[in-house]
Amino acid sequence: MRTGLVDRAIDLAALLREVGDTRNGATILFVGTVRDMNDGRAVTGMEYSSYRSMAERELGEIVREAVAEFGTSDVVVEHRLGTLELGEARIHTVAVRMTRVATSSSSSSGVCPSGSSSTTWTARASGSIPRSPRSPPERRMTDALRDQFGRSIEYLRISVTDRCNFRCVYCMPETGMQWLPKSDILSYEEIADVVRQLAPLGLRRLRITGGEPTIRPQIHELVRMLRAVPEITDISLSTNGVRLPELASLLRESGLDRVNMSVDSLRSDRIVRIARRDLGFDPVRAATAAEAAGLDPIKLNMVVMRGINDDEVEDLARLSIEHPWHVRFIELMPVGDLRSLTWDHVVPTDELLARLNAIAPLERADGPARGNGPATYYRWAAARGTLGVITPMTHTYCASCNRVRLTADGRLRTCLFGNHEVDLRTPLRAGQPLEALFRQALADKPKEHELLQMKVGGLRALSQVGG
């Protein structure tokens, strides 16, 4: 989505006339001040770019009020964002005007400039303005698409980069990876375009992955764009957690609902050995930051490896007693160039559950209210959180698969370990619609993976598709 956020002077007299015009119902929001001091210093409340999500969330609320009042989506919303010069002070503002118009006068392209030098932008209220992440609008839901085996597909995992600030032993070779050229990687605008095209077909839930998604600059801007798609009901993030203490609040404010975090050890020395990078990571601090920001649910994922970290299963599980977190144990999946990890390192889920049950009796649990995954959940009596197990090796769950994956370079992958991919980047950049390609991809989605036969669809590392 393009917006009219500009740092340009606004005519105060004209703006006040609009605010006072009852026909327009104009609204003005003051979002910050900058005062230039005589000695050349400046006092700045916030950087102007930081206002973006705040201003647009407010604008989204106004759009919904207009739609509710007029009972139609044929509402033109004009908004100006810029700077009022009042002596030494510069006040950044957003002004909004709503009018009901005939359908033919609304822009069919979503958001378009009304003039090359103007700060006025026009938008239809039918989805081109972001919704508030905390108060979703009413929407009519369509049925999810189904693949050739009748499975409902409504969940897209979006890889935004193949790079990572870790080199975890089960995910990526320590050296030798060939990174994607920057020109091959989808921009945030292109990713949002893919989602906008697929959402009317039944796409409802998104997960942003990597590599490590938080190392891509301004990742919260992608969250904001995706939150603006009306049909999307759930946006989650998979992360190693390193940057959560600094980003969690901004991600939540931009519209992120929840987070999955990798926690393969609670011991700092072992984290370094598994990640093969020393970044001073504290997983409990990261999860606490996510909880404080309002992200919910919080899922902590441990890939259990015999002889490497399986002796910490009980310690990690105990986090669910005092915290409302969902601790999940994932069976190791030996793939690609990571064949040094073999079946000998796999700890079957049945063994894990027996160990946890020996601490205190486990009872079956429903798990978090929101989620897309195949985990089976348990809890200890009086625990605030739950314990989950994910079993790709000993108890496959392909029959209930509800997802497809978009790689960082724009390929739609219908099975994590399959070899079937559809190029969406080329037609997307050529301006061609994606619906037919998406439907054909689902028609070709395999019944199950062949991981047990050690066939991984050409993957060298899980980081290539975000897991």
- The DSSP secondary structure of 120-175, one letter per residue, reads -EEEETTTSSPPPTTSPPP-PPPPPEE-TT--EE-EEEEE--S--S---TTTS-SS
Q: Is the pLDDT of residue 182 over 50?
A: yes
What average pLDDT does this structure show over 306-314?
95
List the structure tokens of 444: 């070709």
Nearest CA-CA partner of 146 in 191, 203, 205: 203
pLDDT on residue 203: 92
What average pLDDT does this structure show over 212-228?
96
* Helical segments of 255-282, H only: 268-275
pLDDT on residue 466: 52
Tally the residues of the chain.
467
Residue with tokens 């605008």: 189
pLDDT on residue 57: 58
Q: Does domain 145-464 sit in CATH 3.20.20.70?
A: yes
pLDDT on residue 330: 92
Q: Is the pLDDT of residue 426 over 70?
A: yes
Q: Is the pLDDT of residue 434 over 50?
A: yes
- Percentage of the chain beyond pLDDT 70 is 59
Cα separation of 350 and 364, whole Å?
14
Reported as a pLDDT band with limits 50, 70 and 90, residue 178 is confident
Number of neighbours of residue 411 by Cβ within 10 angstroms: 19
* HSE of 289, CA atoms in CB hemisphere, 13 A: 18
Nearest CA-CA partner of 228 in 363, 136, 315, 114: 136
Reported as a pLDDT band with limits 50, 70 and 90, residue 370 is confident
List the structure tokens of 35: 């005062």
List the structure tokens of 433: 């619609």
Q: Is the pLDDT of residue 385 over 80?
A: yes
List the structure tokens of 2: 């393009």
Nearest CA-CA partner of 266 in 241, 247, 291: 241
Cα separation of 126 and 110, whole Å?
8
Residue type present at position 71: G
Cα separation of 138 and 116, whole Å?
34
Q: Is the pLDDT of residue 345 over 80?
A: yes
Q: Looking at mean pLDDT, say which of 76-90, 334-348, 357-371, 405-419 comes out highest.
A: 357-371
Q: Domain ranges in the chain?
A: 5-124, 145-464
Beta-bridge partners for 91 = 33, 84
pLDDT in tens, 247-288: 999 999 999 999 999 999 999 999 999 888 888 899 999 999
Reported as a pLDDT band with limits 50, 70 and 90, residue 236 is very high
Q: Looking at mean pLDDT, say which of 278-282, 317-321, 331-335, 368-372 comes out highest.
A: 317-321
Q: Is the pLDDT of residue 228 over 90?
A: yes
Q: Is the pLDDT of residue 54 over 50?
A: yes
Q: How does DSSP assign 278-308, residue by residue?
A: -----HHHHHHHHHHHT--SEEEEEEEBTTT
List the single range of 32-41, 238-247, 402-411, 457-466 with lowest mean pLDDT: 32-41
List the single range of 38-47, 325-334, 403-412 with lowest mean pLDDT: 38-47
Q: Is the pLDDT of residue 111 over 80?
A: no
Higher pLDDT, 261 or 50: 261
What average pLDDT does this structure show over 154-166?
90
What average pLDDT does this structure show over 338-358?
84
- Percentage of the chain beyond pLDDT 90 is 42
Q: How does DSSP assign 371-430, residue by residue?
A: --S--EEEEETT-SSEEEEE-TTTS--GGG--EEEE-TTSEEESSTT---EEE-HHHHHT
Q: Is the pLDDT of residue 132 over 70?
A: no
Q: Is the pLDDT of residue 39 over 80?
A: no
Q: Looking at mean pLDDT, say which of 113-117, 213-217, 419-423 comes out highest.
A: 213-217
Cα separation of 371 and 199, whole Å?
18
Q: 3-state class of 265 per DSSP?
A: coil
Q: Is the pLDDT of residue 44 over 90?
A: no
Number of neighbours of residue 244 by Cβ within 10 angstroms: 26
CA distances 227 to 31, 73, 404, Å, are 21, 19, 19
